Amino acid sequence: MKKYLVAIIFFCTMQIFAQDVHLSQFYTAQQNLNPALAGFYNGEYRIAGNYRSQWREIGDPITTAVIAFDKKFHFYSDEIDGGIIVVKDQFSGFNQNTNKIFLTGSYKKLWKYNEIRAGIQAGIVLKSTDLKTQTFPNQWVYETGIFDQNLSNGENDISQSQNFIDVNFGVAWSKTFTKFKPTLGLSLFHVNRPKDTYFNTPTERLRMRQVVHGEAVIDLNGPVSIEPKLLYMWTTKAQDALIGSNVKYHFKDSKVKNVYAGVLYRDGFGRNSDAVIPIVGLTYNRFDVGFSYDVNISTLSDYSARKSTLEFSLIYTAPLFSPKNLSIPCDRY
């Protein structure tokens, strides 16, 4: 019974952010973090993928899959960048499925060595659930003390699917110093306040979610760099924060460009601590690979012998095009 109680509590808690993807390696899914970060990389184009499986120990896991593509289009000294992101979020326990497809556009402006970005994202969200796997008050039988799903649920104003248009917006700033490159961003999700409900006569609209994020690359003497990271997001009274750092070791003249390890800590103001997240990864040629493992340290961990969430990220960044032959025209005399 304890594990099912944990599942119910955890599912209800996750509903706060159910409309959005919840990633520990948030910095690897940049279009999901901030629309302004489309095109924020060194290369011609980028393909990124993320997969997350959490709380498999309680039976039916919550899984998240993300795949994104973005490309740069140079406009004089500035950039106009475009991308697409596809998200699938699934909770098998209630057959709850959320699918998203977004198009992203961003603009980069260089001003006095500052890189300023702004982006907008729009797409469609498709959600579905299976009411047959759920129970309702009308199905409770007092004589037996259990729910009878053969009885009518009494819900005549509810649907098993819904869809809506969603719009997100973001801005970001970065600047390269000698051995220090900071990046700061602010993004706003659900700026159009869509109706997100399975009821046929909705009255509530989806609340806007605000995200503040930052990271930096600090080059130390030698082949080592430190990359601190910060994420804070909130909507109404729900808050979530991630803070930590990766330490990266760089190689010269090797297909393995670097290896890194780090740790993040997830918490929320006004509630108990959530998780400690070890991270390891490497860059091989043009591929960046990352693994993380959430170790639950909240009070929910008292009811589970194994407290884990596994997450995987893979990013391919194509090199910038360079012509094989270069010819310089000259005047004839």
User: For 219-276, what is each residue's pLDDT tens digit?
Assistant: 998 899 999 999 999 988 788 999 999 999 999 989 999 999 999 999 876 666 788 9
Class of domain 2-128+167-315 (CATH, top level): mainly beta
- Whether residue 306 contacts residue 295, with contact meaning beta carbons closer than 8 Å, is answered with no
Tell me the C-alpha distance between 306 and 294, whole Å. Answer: 11
pLDDT of residue 255: 94
Q: How far is CA 229 from the centre of its chain?
A: 14
User: Does pLDDT of 323 surpass 60?
Assistant: no
The two three-digit tokens of residue 321, written as one number: 């095009």
The two three-digit tokens of residue 133, written as one number: 């796997």
Tell me the C-alpha distance between 214 and 216, whole Å. Answer: 7
Reported residue count of the chain is: 333
Confidence band for 32, pLDDT divided at 50, 70 and 90: very high
What value does the mean pLDDT of the chain take? 85
Tell me the C-alpha distance between 241 and 164, whole Å. Answer: 28
- Whether residue 107 contacts residue 120, with contact meaning beta carbons closer than 8 Å, is answered with no
SS3 content of the chain, % helix, strand, coil (to 5): 15, 55, 35
pLDDT of residue 307: 56
Beta bridge partners of 309: 54, 294
Phi and psi torsions of 319, nearest 5°:
-70, 155
Q: Where are the domains of the chain?
A: 2-128+167-315
> What count of Cα atoms within 13 Å lies in the side-chain half-sphere of residue 220?
9
Tell me the C-alpha distance between 303 and 8, whole Å. Answer: 12
Confidence band for 62, pLDDT divided at 50, 70 and 90: confident
Confidence band for 5, pLDDT divided at 50, 70 and 90: very low
> 318 or 138: which carries more pLDDT confidence?
318
User: Does pLDDT of 6 surpass 90?
Assistant: no
